[in-house]
Amino acid sequence: MNSPYSLPEPPKFTADDWQRSRESGDYSPLLFEWYKFVSTLCNFFASIRPDSPAVRPLDRIHYAVLIGLLNRCARLMLSNVALSHEGLFGETTAIVDRCIFESCVKVCWLCQNSSADGFARFLADGLKTELELKEKIEKAVGARNGRALEIERRMLRSIAHYVESSGMSVADVEGSKKLPDMAAMIDSLGHDRLTYVVGQRIGSHHIHGTWPSLRMHYLEESADGLLMPRDHDCSTHVNQYVFVPLFVLDAMEHFSRFIFRAQEDVTPMIGLVESVRVEIEKINSEVVGSDFQKVEGV
């Protein structure tokens, strides 16, 4: 990977590269390279230090939340690169993509709302589960007249560390309002319901193993009409190399607008993001071809 402190080099394609994709109808090799590039670019954005002169004063925990989410996107994208480069593990990359999508939405929502309350709600959303576990452990220890198992001591220390590192008290966590669900976040960002359905609901098929997921990735019809386990031959769908990078670019754009002091620092970063978006959409326009032409009588 490129150094996180230097901009990665964008992919370059020859006329032959384009011709091969046009003749085969397979644009995955081109989009795969842009997918890789966006992952390294996201790593670059996540590595911008909060003490940079261009970055405005921000709460250190809030900043850590944002770069943590961006780093999560970058690393999960790189995991998908490793998984999919030989045309396998499409069932797994679909699961990972759903995780990336959710992190992107949260980055955009936190940056757009830009309030301490939003970050507190995000932090508390995870910590409330930890506190519930703490309560269960303490109840079990109490039933033994205060004798704690070593594993319980480790777990309690871990929970205390998570709470302390968040900058919130137990009372803060317990009193925090619930984080909006993904549908509400996506709506507040100006996307229509389709974005939620495709990114979240359809993506959830792969997380939860619903019937559409089983039928797509794990079952196939045998010669005698029985549904049997599918072989290990699922590739990553070409649309995954489009949809996910575009959302990660959105997250980087929101992050840039949120953290930088001056418009003169924001403008080149947004220009960079937009130039990548244009290249991906240019390839995707050839992928979809006539898909969106109106069919007569429909």
Work out the mean pLDDT of the chain and round it to a whole number.
93
Widest Cα–Cα separation across the chain:
77
pLDDT (tens digit, 9 = 90+) per residue, 44-89? 999 999 999 999 999 999 999 999 999 999 999 999 999 999 999 9
Q: What angle do CA 218, 183, 134 make, to 5 degrees?
A: 80
Phi, psi of 229 (to 5 degrees): -55, 130
- Which tokens sit at 31? 């989009």
pLDDT of residue 291: 57
Residues 6+ apart with CB under 8 A from 20: 29
Domain ranges of the chain: 15-114+184-223+230-288
Whether residue 251 contacts residue 73, with contact meaning beta carbons closer than 8 Å, is answered with yes
Between CA 256 and CA 266 the distance in angstroms is 6
- pLDDT reading at 289 higher than 90: no
- pLDDT reading at 215 higher than 70: yes
pLDDT of residue 297: 52
Averaged over 234-262, what is the pLDDT?
96
Q: In the structure, how many helices (H) and strands (E) does the chain have?
A: 13, 2
H/E segment holding residue 219: strand 219-221
Determine whether 152 is exposed, middle or buried from the number of CB atoms within 10 Å of its CB (0-12, 13-18, 19+): middle
Q: In this prediction, what percent of the chain has a pLDDT beyond 90? A: 89
- How far is the CA of 211 from the CAs of 48, 60, 114, 214, in angstroms? 42, 43, 39, 5
pLDDT (tens digit, 9 = 90+) per residue, 106-145? 999 999 988 899 999 999 999 999 999 999 999 999 999 9
- pLDDT reading at 290 higher than 70: no
Between CA 15 and CA 20 the distance in angstroms is 9
